[in-house]
């Protein structure tokens, strides 16, 4: 099992301290952060570091449950309450009794379910679908979201009273790009997990492999890093290099950055791009994000002896786009 970890000088160190402070209490915690940054790991750490780590830890992804089954999944149901209810259903809330209920992506919870959850928190009871009596429950509530709940509340999509209930102790998990110092630590921790499952793997990532990992921007955060290492653990015994395994992520990284580009044009220093190792992941990624300036195009053409197809591929743009830029900039 993986628990929240970071270096002493990391931007995530204040977050880790808050987790340690909150863990022994029963205070509701709202964990915020980008997709894939480790919100569930933080929630599991809160539970593990708490008073009773052996108690149930029930995780529910609110965005992954069909709306028609959401209430019965959360609050349970009695036999015959609806078509297909052939027996009593305990529900996630009751399953977390005397333990921890972790509601991931709580921002996706429909308003009707929000009302029922609020009542459960206020009364410390639950009424299964189709039942007419209340059942006492006792659990610690942890919630997580990548969305702005205050903005959702202003738009009428999230109850204000529920927001106050769940955000007693907010904790923000920084994205991986803000805690680059932790990348080797996290990567090695993940890799050792795979090594326990596959005895043929070396337990330590090599220096070149770790350099590639540190150079990549990881827009998908820890989840993306884990996915790449898991894929490579499977392909490595068949002769694939880590560099080849990482190539598949460049397109995803470029797509993930498109939204940021629309709102804030990023200018990349041409000299920095061209002086880097052309085949390094960092150089490829930067070229694919940059809007090539005349100097960049001119140098790239020189590098490829005026071969437009190779130059366009190097810059991460189509040949047509390159020809358009050459004509537009009079090159």
**3-class SS letters over the chain:** CCCCCCCCCCCCHHHHHHHHHHCCCCCCEEEECCCCCCHHHHHHHHHHCCCCCCCCEEEEECCCCCHHHHHHHHHCECCCCCCCCCCCECCHHHHCCCEEEEEECHHHCCHHHHHHHHHHHHHCEECCECCCCCEECCEEEEEEECCCHHHHHHCCCCCHHHHHHHCCEEEECCCHHHCHHHHHHHHHHHHHHHHHHCCCCCCCCCHHHHHHHHHCCCCCHHHHHHHHHHHHHHHHHHCCCHHHHHHCHHHHHHHHHHHHHHHCCCCCCHHHHHHCCCCCHHHHHHHHHCCCCHHHHHHHHHHCCCCHHHHHHHHCCCHHHHHHHHHHCCC
Cβ neighbors of 68 (< 8 A, separation 6 or more) are none
For residues 27 and 163, state if they share a domain. yes
Give me 47's structure tokens: 């539970």
298: domain range?
265-331
For residues 319 and 225, state if they share a domain. no
Q: How far apart are CA 248 and CA 254, in angstroms?
A: 11
Tell whether 6 is covered by a domain: no
For residues 226 and 304, state if they share a domain. no
Which residue(s) pair with 125 in the sheet? 136
Give me 287's structure tokens: 């070229």
Query: 274: domain CATH number?
Result: 1.10.10
Q: Give the pLDDT confidence score for residue 154 in this predicted structure.
A: 94
Q: How far apart are CA 285 and CA 239, in angstroms?
A: 24
For residues 152 and 204, state if they share a domain. no
| Average pLDDT of span 318-329 | 78
* pTM reported for the whole predicted model: 0.74
pLDDT at 308 over 90: no
pLDDT at 261 over 50: no
Q: Give the pLDDT confidence score for residue 236 in this predicted structure.
A: 85
pLDDT tens for residues 80-108? 667 666 678 889 999 999 999 999 999 99
For residues 20 and 53, state if they share a domain. yes
Taking all residues of the chain, what is their mean pLDDT, rounded to a whole number? 84
| Average pLDDT of span 243-256 | 68
For residues 155 and 285, state if they share a domain. no
How many other C-beta atoms are found inside a 10 Å radius of the C-beta of residue 152?
A: 16
pLDDT at 265 over 50: no
Q: Give the pLDDT confidence score for residue 162 in this predicted structure.
A: 97
For residues 122 and 17, state if they share a domain. yes
Query: 197: domain CATH number?
Result: 1.10.8.60
What is the band of 155 on the pLDDT scale with cuts at 50, 70, 90?
very high
Q: Give the pLDDT confidence score for residue 259 in this predicted structure.
A: 42
Tell whether 4 is covered by a domain: no
Tell whether 7 is covered by a domain: no
What percent of the chain shows pLDDT beyond 70?
84
Q: Domain end: 228, 257, 286, which one?
A: 257
Pairing of strands 125-126, 135-136: antiparallel
For residues 142 and 279, state if they share a domain. no
pLDDT at 331 over 80: no
pLDDT tens for residues 156-208? 999 999 999 999 999 999 999 999 999 999 999 999 888 888 777 777 888 98
For residues 125 and 236, state if they share a domain. no
For residues 238 and 98, state if they share a domain. no
Q: Give the pLDDT confidence score for residue 268 in this predicted structure.
A: 35
For residues 307 and 321, state if they share a domain. yes
Q: Domain end: 111, 140, 174, which one?
A: 174
Total number of domains constituting the chain: 3
pLDDT tens for residues 40-86? 999 999 999 999 999 999 999 998 988 888 888 899 888 766 766 66
Q: Give the pLDDT confidence score for residue 228 in this predicted structure.
A: 93
For residues 93 and 194, state if they share a domain. no
Backbone angles phi, psi at 236, to 5 degrees: -60, -45
Tell whether 246 is covered by a domain: yes
Among 189, 139, 177, 179, smallest CA distance to 28 is for: 139
């Amino acid at each position: 099992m993986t628990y929240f970890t970071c270096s002493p000088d990391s931007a995530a160190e204040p977050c880790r301290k808050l987790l340690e402070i909150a863990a022994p209490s029963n205070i509701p915690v709202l964990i915020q952060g980008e997709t894939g940054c480790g919100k569930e790991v933080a929630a599991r750490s809160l539970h593990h570091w708490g008073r009773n780590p052996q108690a149930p830890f029930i995780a529910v992804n609110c965005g992954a449950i069909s709306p028609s089954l959401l209430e019965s999944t959360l609050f349970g149901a009695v036999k015959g309450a609806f078509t297909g209810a052939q027996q009593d259903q305990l529900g996630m809330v009751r399953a977390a009794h005397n333990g921890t209920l972790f509601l991931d992506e709580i921002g996706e919870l429909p308003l009707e379910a929000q009302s029922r959850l609020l009542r459960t928190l206020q009364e410390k009871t639950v009424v299964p679908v189709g039942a007419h009596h209340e059942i006492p429950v006792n659990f610690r509530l942890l919630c997580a979201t990548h969305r702005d709940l205050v903005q959702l509340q202003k738009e009428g999509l999230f109850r204000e009273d529920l927001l106050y209930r769940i955000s007693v102790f907010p904790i923000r998990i920084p994205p991986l790009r803000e805690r680059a110092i932790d990348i080797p630590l996290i990567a090695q921790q993940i890799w050792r997990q795979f090594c326990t499952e596959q005895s043929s793997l070396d337990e330590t990532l090599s220096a070149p492999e770790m350099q590639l990992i540190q150079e990549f921007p990881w827009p998908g955060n820890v989840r993306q890093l884990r996915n790449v290492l898991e894929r490579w653990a499977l392909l490595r015994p068949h002769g694939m290099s880590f560099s080849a395994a990482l190539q598949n992520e460049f397109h995803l990284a470029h797509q993930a950055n498109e939204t940021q580009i629309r709102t804030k044009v990023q200018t990349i220093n041409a000299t920095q791009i061209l002086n880097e190792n052309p085949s390094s992941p960092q150089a490829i990624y930067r070229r694919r994000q940059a809007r090539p300036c005349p100097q960049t195009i001119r140098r790239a053409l020189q590098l490829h002896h005026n071969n437009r197809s190779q130059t366009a591929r190097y810059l991460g743009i189509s040949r047509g786009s390159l020809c358009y830029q050459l004509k537009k900039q009079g090159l």
